[in-house]
Chains A and B, each alone.
Chain A
Amino acid sequence: MKSRYLKQELFIGKTGQKKIEESTIVVFGMGALGSAISEMLVRAGVGKLVIADRDYVEWSNLQRQQLYTEDDAKKKLPKAVAAKQRLQSINSQTIIKEHVMDIFFQNVEELAEGASILMDATDNFETRLVINDAAMKHNIPFVFGACVGSYGMTYPVLPGKGPCFHCLVDYIPSQNVTCDTEGVISPIVQWVASMQVAQAMQILSGEDVTPTLRSFDIWKMEHAEMNVEKLKNLDCPSCGIERLHPFLTMEKHTKADILCGRDAVHIRPPVPRTLDLKYLSKQWEQQTTNMLANAHLLSFQYEPYRVILFKDGRAIIHGTADITMAKNVYTRLTG
């Protein structure tokens, strides 16, 4: 069994390999980046992998989200569930813990606790700032990665060394400009994920990693990189002298946000709740069409909206990018 890591061990050394096998890595988000990162990590032999994602598999994911199959899309399986099945079949020795959940300030620390490295594979700035705060609070390296179109970027956040993500990104920019208009191609996903995993392996094996921001446009073949040490902000509320970790203490509220490029809104209740999916499917049988149920969610057409209700109380309302409208639909359906 040991020989499966032979080629990697020849390169990285016995000690490095041991560190990888003893590591616990959390991957936040299991879309394109999360799929690519997790597959590499599991093949590399990480000891424990924790994966978290709020979404389910759709046909439009298959072009670049390498862990998922047509069958997963037909069944509308939650990504974390489908990913675990595939990852476990790649490496039965890795302990894989999957979470079908939205990552936010109330659960991020629990996910991060005890981890060797946190891997960013989310699709929005807000969640990254939340994870960054958890990373700074618990002194865990956090490897940022993002891509849109043919352009991608990475940055390793190293506690106590160089700026954190909040030092670099001090407000949440509007994202509408990007995903909706530009799409994304899978080669850049692979570049970003590879950079992130290489940096994670370097951190684990004790290599010197510098606070370097890197970008690459794989279509224009344009590369940039810079050491951003100078941007370390001593007054940063996340990693500065007085650490308040503001993104871990935000007020409770029903959170609704527009899903990247999907004409859909994701809704999360203010406090976790458990929906009785069986009861709901009966209750709404008459007013809805195309009802599909599995152990994790309900999917149906309601008025002009395609609605996905998750067992944990979250919902995705398709057919609108209007947050208020989506919240209304959600309240009507779940009370």
Chain B
Amino acid sequence: MKIELNGKVHELPEHVKTTAQLLAFLELQNRIVIVEINQDIVLKDKYESHQLNTGDKVELIHFVGGG
């Protein structure tokens, strides 16, 4: 499916259907991330259950430590 991720259109492979799968696909599953889908933040305990839909606008920010 096609989603908009941080302002750019991305084509996701078929197996990516939930927020948790999206994070794994982006190799961010072990990082601290904040995910917003269609302007609503998805809480961590909903990552497994929250389904993605074509055309979703996803904003994703992961934390880094450097400085």
A contact set with B: CB distance below 8 Å: 29, 31-34, 120-125, 145-148, 151-153, 168-169, 171, 173-175, 177-179, 184, 192, 213-215, 222-226, 228, 230-231, 260
Chain A residues, CB < 8 A from B13:
none
Residue contact A151 to B67, C-beta cutoff 8 Å: no
> Which residues B17-48 have CB closer than 8 A to chain A?
30-32, 34, 36, 41
Residue contact B41 to A224, C-beta cutoff 8 Å: no
Assuming the A-B contacts A169-B32, A228-B41, A230-B41, are A222 and B6 also in contact, with contact meaning beta carbons closer than 8 angstroms in the complex? yes
- Bound: A175/B30 CA distance, A: 11
Assuming the A-B contacts A173-B30, A231-B34, are A224 and B65 also in contact, with contact meaning beta carbons closer than 8 angstroms in the complex? no
Residue contact A121 to B65, C-beta cutoff 8 Å: no
Interface of A is mostly: mixed
- Bound: A173/B64 CA distance, A: 9
Residue contact B7 to A222, C-beta cutoff 8 Å: yes
Residue contact B61 to A224, C-beta cutoff 8 Å: yes
- Bound: A67/B8 CA distance, A: 36
B: contact size bracket: 10 to 19
Chain A residues, CB < 8 A from B66:
123, 146-148, 175, 178-179, 184, 260
Residue contact B65 to A213, C-beta cutoff 8 Å: no
Q: Contact check: which of A122, A153, A179, A226 meets B63 at CB < 8 Å?
A: A153
- Bound: A192/B31 CA distance, A: 20
Q: B56 within 8 Å of A by Cβ?
A: no
- Bound: A143/B41 CA distance, A: 22
- Bound: A321/B32 CA distance, A: 24
Chain B residues, CB < 8 A from A230:
41
A-B contact count (CB 8 A): 84
Q: Contact check: which of B7, B36, B61, B65 meets A148 at CB < 8 Å?
A: B65
Chain B nearest CB from A124 CB (Å) reads: 5
Chain A nearest CB from B33 CB (Å) reads: 10
Chain B nearest CB from A80 CB (Å) reads: 15
Chain B residues, CB < 8 A from A33:
67
Residue contact A121 to B67, C-beta cutoff 8 Å: yes
Q: Contact check: which of A125, A214, A215, A223 meets B65 at CB < 8 Å?
A: A125
Chain B residue nearest in CB terms to A230 = B41
Residue contact A213 to B67, C-beta cutoff 8 Å: no
Residue contact A224 to B60, C-beta cutoff 8 Å: yes
Q: Contact check: which of B30, B62, B67 meets A123 at CB < 8 Å?
A: B67
Residue contact A123 to B59, C-beta cutoff 8 Å: no
Assuming the A-B contacts A223-B6, A231-B41, are A213 and B34 also in contact, with contact meaning beta carbons closer than 8 angstroms in the complex? yes
Chain A nearest CB from B39 CB (Å) reads: 8
Residue contact B65 to A226, C-beta cutoff 8 Å: no
Residue contact A32 to B67, C-beta cutoff 8 Å: yes
Residue contact A222 to B65, C-beta cutoff 8 Å: no
A147-B66, A153-B63, A173-B32 are known contacts; what are 12 more A-B pairs with Cβ within 8 Å?
A: A33-B67, A34-B67, A123-B67, A147-B64, A151-B64, A168-B63, A169-B32, A171-B32, A174-B30, A215-B62, A222-B8, A223-B6
Chain A residues, CB < 8 A from B6:
215, 222-224
Residue contact B67 to A228, C-beta cutoff 8 Å: no
Chain A nearest CB from B1 CB (Å) reads: 20
Can you sample 12 A-B contacts with CB below 8 Å?
A: A29-B67, A34-B67, A146-B66, A146-B67, A169-B63, A175-B65, A184-B66, A213-B61, A222-B8, A226-B61, A228-B34, A231-B41
